[in-house]
Structure 1
Amino acid sequence: MSKAINGRRTASGTQQTGTLSMLTRRDFLTAGAATLAMTAGGSRWSAAAEPIRIGEINSYSGLPAFTLPYRNGWQLAVEEINAAGGVLGRPLEVISRDDGGKPGDAVTAANELLSREKVALLVGTFFSHVGLAVADFANQKKVLFVAAEPLSDALTWEKGNRYTFRLRPNVSMQAGMLAEEAAKLKAKRWASIAPNYEYGQSAVAAFKRLMAARRPDIEWVAEQWPALGKLDPGPTVQVLAEAKPEAIFNVTFAADLTKFVREGQTRGLFKDREVVSLLTGEPEYLDPLAAEAPIGWIVTGYPWYEIDTPRHQAFLAAYQARFSDYPRLGSVVGYAAMKSVAAIITRAGKVDTELMVEAAKGVTLETPFDEIMYRSLDHQSTLGAYVGRTALRDGKGVMVNWRYADGAAYLPGAAEVAKLRPAR
C-alpha cells in the first residue's frame, strides 16, 4: 500500500495532489493514509471491474477549514459506496486536485483530469468564481460537472449550461430563508458588508431584492466591499458605525468574519443592532470564534449537535466513527456530492456523459439533511439549510431556535427560470 504523495495514486483508489501549506499538507497526507481502507477489499473486485474514475477539484490550500472536512465527507461516501458493491458493479476511484482558489488553476486541473486521467466526470469546487470557470470548461468540453459548494446564482441560472448541476442552495435560496426572518424585524435602516467577488455581490443583490419585496419601507444607508481575505477591520467597522444602521446584512466568512466580529464587538457595532448573516452558523466559521462568537445573529448554518433525524444520526455516527471528529457543513456537502455522483451514474445505467446528464435531471437521493432532487428546470438541487440565531453555550458559539428550510420552497417556478436561464 502507498500514500498519495506528489500525485501518486493511493491503494485506496484516491489520488491527491496540489500545492498545500505545511500544516495543510501534513493533514492532507494523514488523511490520505487514513483512506487506505477505502477499497481495502479491492481483491474482491473482479479483474473486469474497472474503476469509475471521478475527477475532484477543490480549494484545499485556499480554505482548509471547509475543504478538509469536505474531503472527509466525500471519502466516507466513497467508502460506503464501494463497500456496498460500487456503482454498476464497479468501484469508484477519486482523483483529486487542489485549485488553490484560482479559476485558472482549476481549469488547468480539470483539463488534466479529463485528458490525462480520463475521468468520467468532474465534481467539487468551493469559490463561486472558480465554480463558474469550471462550469464553462465543462460546457465547452461536454463533460458532466457536479458543483458541490459554489453558491452564485449565475452557476445554474444566468450562466447555467447543460453539463453543470449544483448541490448546495444558491445565494438567492439562502437569502430568501434569511429574508423571511429579517422582514419581521423593526429595523428600517440597513447596511451591508460582503467580499467583493461573485459570491458576495450575488448575495447582497439577492437579499436586497427579496427584502424590497417584503419590506418596501427599508433603506440601505451603507455598504462595504472588502477584497476577499483582505478585510481591514478598523476602517470597515468605522464606516458602518458612522452610517448608524439599525441592522446589518453580513456576508463575510472565514478569516474575514473573525476579524469583523472581533473588531465590531470591540467598537460596539453590534450593540442594540440586528445582524443577519449568511453562513455564520456553520461550524467552520463559528467554532474558531469560541467565546467571542456573536450572540443573537440570524444565520444559516449547521447545528449538527442537535439534529436528531434518523438520517442525520446515521451520518453523524458513521462520520465520528471514521474520523474521531464531529462533522462540519463541508462534511455534509462532500458526502452528499459523492452520493449524488453515484446516484446519477446508477440512474444512467452506463458511464456515458450524455446519458449521465439526462439521468441527473430529476435524480433523487438521500442526504444527511433530507431527500433531495436535482431539478430538470435549472439543474439546481433542492437541498435546504438550517436557519436560526447564534448563542453562546459552554464558551462556544451555537445555533438555537433553528429550523430546517427545505430548498424546494425557495426555488423559482418554470416561468421565472425561463427568464433567468438562457437556452444553451
Structure 2
Amino acid sequence: MKKTSSWLATVAVLWAAANALTAHAQGVIKIGEVNSYKAQPAFLEPYRKGLELAVDQVNASGGVNGKKLELVIRDDNGNPGDAVRAAEELISREKVDVLTGTFLSHVGLALTDFAKQRKFFFLAAEPLTDKIVWQNGNKYTYRLRPSTYMQVAMLVPEAAALKKKRWALVYPNYEYGQSAVATFKELLKAAQPDVEFVTEQASPLGKVDSGSVVQALADAKPDAIFNVLFGPDLSKFVREGNTRGLFQGREVVSLLTGEPEYLDPLKDETPNGWIVTGYPWYSIQTPEHKAFRSAYEAKFKDYPRLGSVVGYSAIMSLAEGMKKAKSTETEKLVAAFKGLQLMTPFGQITYRPEDNQSTMGGYVGRTKNEGGKGVMVNYHYLDGAKYQPSAAEVAKRRAVD
C-alpha cells in the first residue's frame, strides 16, 4: 500500500511539473540566436546588449501576443557546421519559435540553407553577403542589415566623384570581401568607365600580412584604395600603412571603418579623410535615435555601437512580425514579413517583398583624428531603399523560392 501511495505521489509530482513546463512554454516565445560571440567579440558583445535591451522593452510593454520573449543563445565559433548544429539543437531540443543572428557571411549562408531545408523562419541580422537574399535566397530567410551591394552602392558615388583612375583593392578573402570587391568594381566601372584596377590584395580573414600587403599596394602606385578589411586586420593595415606612408596623397574609400567597433581601436592611428560607412552615435539627433541611445546608456552605462543597433532592431523586427502575424508559425511569419514596416533607431524600415531585404540605411562620411580618437565628420544618412536594385533586377538575381 505504501509503495502504491509513493508511486502515485511521484506521478502527481511529475504531472504537476509537466503542467508547469507546459504553462511556461505557452507563456513564452523562444528566440533562438546563433552567433560568433567568441570569434567576433568587438561587434557581437554590443550586439548582444542590443538584443537584451529590446527584449526588456518588449516584455515591459506586455510582450508579444500576450507572451514574453525569451532569448536562447548559442555560439557558432565562426564555423558554418557549428552554426547548423546549434540551430538544429535549438529547434529540436529547445523548441525555439524562430531563429535569428549570424555575423560572418559564410555562416549566414549556411543557416540560410538550413532554414530552407527545415522550412523554418530565419532573420539574418548581420551577415552582409548578397547571396542571402539573392542567389541563395529563399522564402524562409529575411535579412535586416544593409547588404554588401547596398553599402557599396552608397560609397560608389563618393568614389566616382574623386575622379581617380587607378584603384587598388584590399579585402578579406572570403564571401563578404569577395562580394564587396566584385560589387565595387561593377558599380564604379559603370559610373566611371575609364577606371583601372591595378592590384588586388586578398588576405585570409584574421591573418593579414600587413607588411607584404602594404608593400604590394605601394608598388602598384594606385591613385586611390578601396579597403574592405575590418577588425584586427584593419588595425594592422592602418598601422603599417601609416608607417610606410601608403595613405599620403591617396584617397581611401573604406567599407565599415566608421563603425565604432573598428574605428575606436585605431585611437591616435586613425587616418584623416577616409570615406567610410559607419555610425556616428555621438551626434545623431533624430528622436528615435536619442530615445534608443538614452535607454541603452541607462541600462549598460556604455555608449552604443553599430552592433547594438542591429541587435536591437532584430528583436524589434521579430516582435513586429509576430504581432502582424498574430502567431509564431513559420508560414504566417513569412507572409507577415512581406512589406513589414517598423521604426528602428535609424528610422522606419521596410522588408521588401521582392527579396526579403530590409531598407535599413547607413551613414557615409569621412574619418577624422580628433584628439587621438577617431570620429566621423561631414556624414549623412542614406536611405537603404534608394540603394537597392529594382524589382526587375532583383528578379534576375534572386533564386526561385
Looking at structure 2, the residues matched to 201 and 97 of structure 1 have their Cα atoms a distance apart, in angstroms, of 27
What are the residue-to-residue correspondences of 1:228-243 with 2, within 5 Å? 228-243=205-220
Equivalent in the alignment of 1:35: none
Q: For 1:181, which of 158, 166, 183 is the aligned residue?
A: 158
Kept in 2: contact 1:388–1:403 (CA 8 A): yes
Is residue 357 from structure 1 mapped to residue 334 from structure 2 by the alignment?
yes
Looking at structure 2, the residues matched to 82 and 422 of structure 1 have their Cα atoms a distance apart, in angstroms, of 37
Equivalent in the alignment of 1:82: 59
Q: For 2:137, which of 160, 163, 172 is the aligned residue?
A: 160
Equivalent in the alignment of 1:31: none
Deviations 1:300-354 (A, max 9, x none): 0000001000000000000000000000000000000000010111000112110
Equivalent in the alignment of 2:42: 65
Equivalent in the alignment of 1:195: 172
Looking at structure 1, the residues matched to 284 and 292 of structure 2 have their Cα atoms a distance apart, in angstroms, of 11
Q: How far is 1:217 from its partner?
A: 1.1
Kept in 1: contact 2:32–2:73 (CA 8 A): yes
What are the residue-to-residue correspondences of 1:336-347 with 2, within 5 Å? 336-347=313-324
* Other structure's SS at 1:391 match: strand
Looking at structure 2, the residues matched to 176 and 184 of structure 1 have their Cα atoms a distance apart, in angstroms, of 13
* TM-score, normalization by structure 1: 0.88
* Other structure's SS at 1:387 match: strand
Kept in 2: contact 1:165–1:380 (CA 8 A): yes
What are the residue-to-residue correspondences of 1:17-416 with 2, within 5 Å? 50-416=27-393
Looking at structure 1, the residues matched to 400 and 148 of structure 2 have their Cα atoms a distance apart, in angstroms, of 22
- CA spacing shift, 1:317–1:422, aligned 2, 3 Å: same
* Other structure's SS at 1:340 match: helix
- Structure 1 counterpart of 2:286, one-letter code: T
Kept in 2: contact 1:49–1:89 (CA 8 A): no
Looking at structure 2, the residues matched to 235 and 256 of structure 1 have their Cα atoms a distance apart, in angstroms, of 13
Deviations 1:272-327 (A, max 9, x none): 00000000000000000101111100000000001000000000000000000000
Deviations 1:139-172 (A, max 9, x none): 0000000000000011001110010000011111
- Structure 1 counterpart of 2:235, one-letter code: T
Kept in 1: contact 2:98–2:328 (CA 8 A): no
* Other structure's SS at 2:203 match: coil
Q: How far is 1:394 from its partner?
A: 2.4
Looking at structure 2, the residues matched to 206 and 379 of structure 1 have their Cα atoms a distance apart, in angstroms, of 20
Deviation beyond 3 Å, 4+ runs, structure 1: 46-49
Equivalent in the alignment of 2:11: none
* Other structure's SS at 2:297 match: helix
- CA spacing shift, 1:196–1:340, aligned 2, 3 Å: same
Looking at structure 2, the residues matched to 186 and 72 of structure 1 have their Cα atoms a distance apart, in angstroms, of 42
Equivalent in the alignment of 1:34: none
Aligned pair count?
379
Looking at structure 2, the residues matched to 47 and 315 of structure 1 have their Cα atoms a distance apart, in angstroms, of 30
| RMSD after superposition | 0.9
* Other structure's SS at 1:183 match: helix
Q: How far is 1:49 from its partner?
A: 5.1
Q: Which has the larger radius of gyration?
A: 2
Deviations 1:392-418 (A, max 9, x none): 112100000000010000111111111
Looking at structure 1, the residues matched to 375 and 223 of structure 2 have their Cα atoms a distance apart, in angstroms, of 24
- Structure 2 counterpart of 1:305, one-letter code: Y
Q: How far is 1:186 from its partner?
A: 2.5
Q: How far is 1:422 from its partner?
A: 2.0
- Identify, as 1 or 2, the structure richer in helix: 2
Instruction: Extract unaligned runs of 5+ from structure 2.
Output: 1-22
Q: How far is 1:373 from its partner?
A: 0.5
Instruction: Extract unaligned runs of 5+ from structure 1.
Output: 1-45
Q: Does 1 or 2 have the higher relative contact order (CA < 8 Å, sep 6+)?
A: 2
Deviations 1:25-82 (A, max 9, x none): xxxxxxxxxxxxxxxxxxxxx9685201110011000010000000000100000000
Percent identity over paired residues: 63
Equivalent in the alignment of 1:6: none
Deviations 1:350-378 (A, max 9, x none): 12110011001111110000100101110
- Structure 2 counterpart of 1:159, one-letter code: N
